[in-house]
């Protein structure tokens, strides 16, 4: 396979590749372009820009936006919804790290007891 083709395939698998225009992203979310701009204004999402200056969003960013949208649809304010999503992600990361450390401690205790 040619190097260029592999590179294109890698981009398709990359959750952080900015593949979606603002219009397509808004359509996928069932939201408006204004909603996406508001997420940029509160700094939850910082979309990459095309050579022409147009916003481009990744799948990861669209998942964040979707979570915020669901909270806003439940009546939570935009800034509070963004903060909730950020805190949920931080908690998930802390739990993951904690589980890894506990596993390392268990493995270390088993190794020293042999």
27-41 pLDDT tens trace: 999 999 999 999 999
- Tell me if 80 is assigned to some domain: yes
Which of 10-24, 64-78, 83-97 is the least confident region? 10-24
Using CB atoms within 10 Å of the CB of residue 41, give its burial: 0 to 12 exposed, 13 to 18 middle, 19+ buried: exposed
Phi and psi for 83 in degrees, rounded to 5? -65, -40
Residue 45: give the domain boundaries.
12-113
- Tell me if 6 is assigned to some domain: no
Q: Which CATH number covers residue 19?
A: 1.10.1660.10
Position 101 confidence tier, pLDDT thresholds 50, 70, 90: very high
pLDDT digits (tens, 9 = 90+) for 64-87: 999 999 999 999 999 999 999 999
- Tell me if 103 is assigned to some domain: yes
- Tell me if 5 is assigned to some domain: no
pTM, full prediction: 0.79
- Tell me if 1 is assigned to some domain: no
- How much is the pLDDT for 108? 82
- Tell me if 50 is assigned to some domain: yes
Count of domains in the chain? 1
- Tell me if 19 is assigned to some domain: yes
């Amino acid at each position: 396979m040619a190097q260029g083709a592999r590179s294109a395939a890698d981009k398709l698998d990359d959750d952080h590749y900015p593949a979606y225009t603002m219009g397509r992203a808004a359509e996928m979310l069932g939201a408006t372009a204004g909603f996406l701009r508001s997420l940029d204004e509160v700094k939850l999402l910082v979309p990459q820009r095309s050579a022409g200056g147009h916003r481009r969003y990744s799948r990861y960013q669209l998942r964040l936006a979707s979570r915020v949208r669901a909270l806003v649809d439940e009546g939570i304010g935009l800034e509070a919804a963004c903060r909730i999503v950020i805190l949920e992600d931080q908690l998930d990361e802390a739990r993951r790290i904690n589980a890894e450390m506990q596993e390392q401690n268990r493995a270390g205790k088993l190794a020293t007891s042999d």
